[in-house]
Amino acid sequence: MAVTFERYGQLHYVDPAGHRVAVGDWVMVATDEGPEVAQCVWAPERSPRADWGSLPACLGPATEKDLARDRANRRFRAEARIVAHRLIRRHELPMKVIGIDYLDRSDDYDRLVVVYFTAPHRVDFRQLVRDLAKTLQARIDLRQIGDRDATRITGGIGQCGRELCCATHLTRFEPIAVRLAKDQDLPANPMRIQGACGRLMCCLKYEHPLYQEFLRSAPKVGSRVRTPDGDGKVVGLSVPSESVVVRMDATGEVSRCPQADVCPARKAYEGRRD
């Protein structure tokens, strides 16, 4: 099953552990910081994958007490964010608060507030930590994060019109090179290949194998081919639609043909046989 800890937030896969759960139900999920309330967005179903054994377990339906504690924690995180913004302005620090985590271990002396922030350089926030701890009556942990992690927390809409991959299904970031954009015949214009974080789009990485597989079997641009409509010259390739763009010899018109309907010209075919 899949759950989310925030509305429209990142999906987390969970072992149902024998519990009957429907979409929309509130459940308790085991995390590194203890059980947390989450909402089911993907009902339990069987999967042939063998690596599901390492998933966190569903601890059962959330009780009214669990939901009340979750609502209280959300209110505290919202108040902590306001306090952090106010103190940062007071100390005139070049910081931007991205997210707040609050861990309440049911002990007034063991409450932890984690503040995620971005900054153009290292920041001396020692006085800020003391003021936050005094105001919020909790231990404070300030963590500076990069642009990609900040975008994952805040979320947003990508150039494709869908929610950002990092905020929905991506679980880890991988290094991305400009070469991947070139292999996918994308322009070198940074505005076209950068994501909301200002870095190269993550989809360049996990879509690259599809382009490699298609290019291995597709005719090269400039080669002569034969199609059901006649002979022509390849002037382009469309990997998403698995088609070849051919300029016909007879009419000069450009036609898009499925890759399966395109074969090399007989002269080239016979040359390979010789």
Give pLDDT, residue 270. Answer: 46
Give pLDDT, residue 52. Answer: 60
For 202, residues 6+ apart whose C-beta sits below 8 A from its C-beta are 165, 166, 170, 173, 174, 176, 195
| Site of tokens 């469309």 | 238
Which domains are delineated in the chain?
Answer: 2-62 (no CATH), 69-145 (3.30.300), 150-214 (no CATH), 218-273 (2.30.30.140)
Q: Which of 75, 66, 72 is closest to 25 using CA atoms?
A: 66
Q: Are 93 and 128 contacting, i.e. CB atoms less than 8 angstroms apart?
A: yes
Of 129 and 197, the structure prediction assigns the larger pLDDT to 129
Eight-state DSSP code of residue 15: B
Give pLDDT, residue 267. Answer: 44
Strand order in the sheet with 111-118: 96-104, 111-118, 139-144
Average pLDDT over residues 119-130: 90
CA distance 236 to 262: 13
Give pLDDT, residue 49. Answer: 66
pLDDT for 201-256, tens place per residue? 888 887 888 888 888 888 888 888 888 888 888 888 888 888 888 888 888 888 88
Of 265 and 143, the structure prediction assigns the larger pLDDT to 143
CA distance 1 to 52: 10
In this prediction the pTM is: 0.70
How far does CA 191 lie from the centroid of its chain?
Answer: 19
Statement: residue 19 has pLDDT above 60 = yes
